[in-house]
Structure formats: structure tokens, C-alpha cells
Structure 1
Amino acid sequence: MTRETIESDAKYANYFSLLYENDDFIVINKQANINFHSEDGEFGVVVAAEKALACKLYSVHRLDKMTSGLLLLAKSSAIAAQLAALFFEHKIQKYYLAISAQKPKKKQGLIKGGMEKSRRSMWKLTKQHKNLAITQFFSYSLENGKRLFIVKPHTGKTHQIRVALKSIGSAICGDPLYAEKSSLTASYDRAYLHAYQIDFSLHNQQFSFQALAEFGDLFRSECCLAKLQELGAVSDLAWPKI
């Protein structure tokens, strides 16, 4: 099935769009509010991709239901193992976009702490180093008091980015768990977290993918799009070494 066929089929377009495909893997742009795994009688984005492409796919990382963006899926267990090893060795770099309505305690920097389970399905950041989460970010002013965050997680903990931004006073707009109730009543059309860019090397070939969010008034605003165009490849920002 070609990219054009998938995009013209609303059944699959509601789940993802196909960004890239070769013999080893595919890269898709997952839609927001779509489960990663199948549950409650509804198939998840991985199964949707398998059905659309008529092939078995293997996951090597995941995205929360609320999060849109780039997802890498292997076409064989052997390639999945190689990609999983790259993730484990921190040789795959991922960059996220987030938007908050609250000004952060600092405009850029490092957020580091232990991840600990909290109430409901939430997590919190502690001063301990158990289950350590490390996150770097830059932030930029948008219109109407909003701030755009470019986030680089160095670890892959559950809810890591959501908890990190909450910890500096900038919960993600529309986040159903970590945003203040007053923020939820602002009628956001989605939760504003998007996996924007992924860079890695496989079989001595360099790969870099970048994709805008396909849905979300704040992500699609002229101000946000202009800032992203100005920034270009976010991997080229002055990220300090950890």
C-alpha cells in the first residue's frame, strides 16, 4: 500500500500518516489521542500500521495516547533488536515540541530527578536518583502568553516530559493528568506534546526525520510555524553535553 493510498483511506489516516519506508523500518506520524496498543476493542496505532501496510511490525519505543508525532517501527525482529540496542545506548536522539500556558521557572536548561509514582496514574519528580530522568529544553515565547518548548529527553521514563515541564511550572496545555483544572477548561483541542524529530544511524547510514503535528490550533498557528521554520533542525541547537 502506498503512502497516497493510506492518506486517502480515512480509516488509517485517523491513526497515522506514513513518513518513510524502507526494507528495514517505517517512520509514521502518529495522530494525537490514539492508543499505542490495542485496547477496549479498538486497535492501536501499531496494529493500524500493520493492517495498512499488510506486514508484521515491531515496536522499539512508544508514545503516550495524547502524544502525536514520529514513531519508528521495525519490519523484523532482528532490526527491532538493533534499534532497541541503539535506544539503550542513547544513540537515537528524539526531540519533542510542547506548548504551555505558564511561564517556566527558567527559559532553558536541564531537569533532572527521580521518577516516583504518585496518585492516580500520575508520576512525580523527586530529588532522589532512583529511576533517574534527565531532560533538556529550550523555550520560546509565542502569542497570547503561550510558550513553545523544544525538549530533548536523555532517558525514556513514563510521562517524563509531562512531569519535567510540570516541575518547572509549565504543565503542557491540555494534559489531562498534569495540567491545572483551570487549564483544562480553556477548551484546548488536544494535549500539546508532539514527537517532532528523530535522528539515528543504522547500517552506516544516517537518518533524520522531522514532522509537524497535523492537528492542533496552537501547533498550526502562524507564530508557532514561523518559530519552527526559524529554528530548522532542532538537533543543531546549542545542547550542552550531559
Structure 2
Amino acid sequence: MNKTPIPILFQNQDFVVIDKPAGLNFHSEESPGLVALVQQQLHLDKIYPVHRLDKMTSGLILLALNKKTAQQFQSMFEQRQIEKTYIAISDQKPKKKQGWIKGDMLPARRGSWKLAKTLHNPAISQFESVLIQPGERLYFLKPKTGKTHQLRVAMKSISAPICGDDRYADANAAKHEDRGYLHAYLLRFTLNGKPFEFIKKPNSGKRFTQQACQELLQAWLQTDKSSN
């Protein structure tokens, strides 16, 4: 994977937007992670991560190129001024098909988390969904907070764990999937008075790349743009 260039979708003097491949660690562990690879690829002395994606998750990531912009982005994330939409696929029947998922995130076993019914410092996610085909549903997820594993735990809490999620879905079933089906699909924000919007369809995973799913993604974009 290290030999394949990371797709750079946008770059200016303040930040870059990249398309993170599924299955790549964000930070370096046994091998170079996403941040190190992008820094090396762009011949930069330093880049500033301002949010992150789990290893299984693909899609849009913002990286600041200077300290000032990094601080601006961090403040914007805290104030919920950066709109993010993720997509996910589950093959389980959900308790509900749209709405809000709210609750405190509590530590569970082996680094996992679970959603509580309490609301002291809750994870908050808004979602809607549409049927791809019987037994397979596409979810559009808008996290309003930024907790570890937030969307993966949210999906499990509505009885619809994400396909290929070896932590929160059935581990045996996850082994038979070609990837974890969570993707950062849309980023929208205004920086220094200038509006930015980035959209990137997933390009890996049979469930994501099937024609029925791609058509639903395109249809959702039309309705999302008309509501903004």
C-alpha cells in the first residue's frame, strides 16, 4: 500500500484534502500511517491532523499545512462549523430507519465502546437510510460530535452494525467482507470567508461500488444540495 500514492483531492497553502484508502492506519504503527505517507508524498516538513478516520474507514480527510489553519479547523470542529456526512452499509434490520442517535459513550471490553442511555456528555449523530435491496441498507450519517468509534457504535445501537466491522459486527461475518463499509463522503465548511465543499464516492468494496448503491448516492446528493 505504501507504494500507491495517496489521492490528493485539493491543496492550497493552508490545507489539503485527501481520499484515505480503507485499511490504512491513520498514524504510523508497524508501518507508515496516512499522516506520514502524505507528509512524505508532498515533501513537507510537518502537517497537522485536525480530525481522524479509523483504519477501516475510507474517504475525506482534512490536513492543515500550518499551525494557524490547524487551530482554525480545531475551533471549527469544536463549534460544529464543519459539516460531515458519512455513508455506511448494514445487512441487519435497524430498530429505526432515520432520526437521531444520542447517548454517552462508555468504555467496554478490549478497547471497544458502548452507547448508554444517559446524556451527560453524549455522542450525537443524525441519520437517514434507504434500501439498496432486500437485506442491504445504505445509511447517511451526520455526526454532530466527534467521539472515538462514534458512528460504528451508533449503528450497533440501532441493531444495524456496519458490514465488515470486525469490532462491532459479527466477527465471522466481517471476515467474509472485502472491507469495512464506512466512508467519509462529504465535507462542507467556510474558511476565511470562502465556502468549500468536497464530495468523494467510495471506489472500493463490492457493496459500495455496485450500481444500485452508486445511483442512491447520486440521488441523495441532489436532495442534500436542494436542502442547503
TM-score between both structures, scaled by the size of structure 1: 0.89
Q: Shift of residue 238 of structure 1?
A: 6.2
74-83 vs 139-148, which moves further: 139-148
2:26 aligned partner: 36
Q: Does 2:188 match 1:161?
A: no
Paired residues for 1:96-107 under 5 Å: 96-107=86-97
2:81 equivalent in structure 1:
91
Aligned position for 2:163: 173
> How far apart are residue 146 of structure 1 and its match?
0.6
Aligned to 1:112: 102
Q: Which residue of 1 aligns with 2:3?
A: 11
Partner Cα separation in structure 1 for residue 67 and residue 226 of structure 2? 34
Change (3 A) 1:235 1:89: farther
Instruction: Give unpaired runs (5+ residues) of structure 2.
Output: none
Structure 1 stretches of at least 4 aligned residues deviating more than 6 Å after TM superposition: none
Asked if 2 retains the 8 angstrom alpha-carbon contact of 1:31 and 1:214, the reply is no
Letter in 2 for 1:58: Y
- State the identity as a percent: 46
Superposed CA RMSD: 1.7
1:230 partner SS: helix
Aligned to 2:200: 211
Distance 1:163 1:230 in 2: 27
- Could you tell me which residue of structure 2 aligns to residue 231 of structure 1? 220
Question: How far apart in 2 are the matches of 1:141 and 1:151?
Answer: 15
Secondary structure of residue in 1 paired with 2:159: coil
Structure 1 residue aligned with 2:37: 48
Shift of 1:10: 7.0
> Cα deviations across residues 181-235 of structure 1 (Å, max 9, x unaligned)?
35325x1100000000000000100000000112111110000001111111574
1:194 equivalenced with 2:190 (yes/no): no
Q: For 2:104 and 2:88, locate their aligned partners in 1 and report how far apart those are by CA, in whole Å.
A: 21
Which secondary structure state, in structure 1, belongs to the residue aligned with residue 208 of structure 2?
coil
Q: Which segment is superposed worse, 51-60 or 150-159? A: 51-60
Displacement of 1:144: 4.6
**Number of residue pairs aligned between Structure 1 and Structure 2:** 227
Unaligned runs of 5+ in 1: 1-8
Question: Taking structure 1 as reference, are residues 171 and 65 closer, same or farther at Cα in structure 2, changes over 3 Å only?
Answer: same
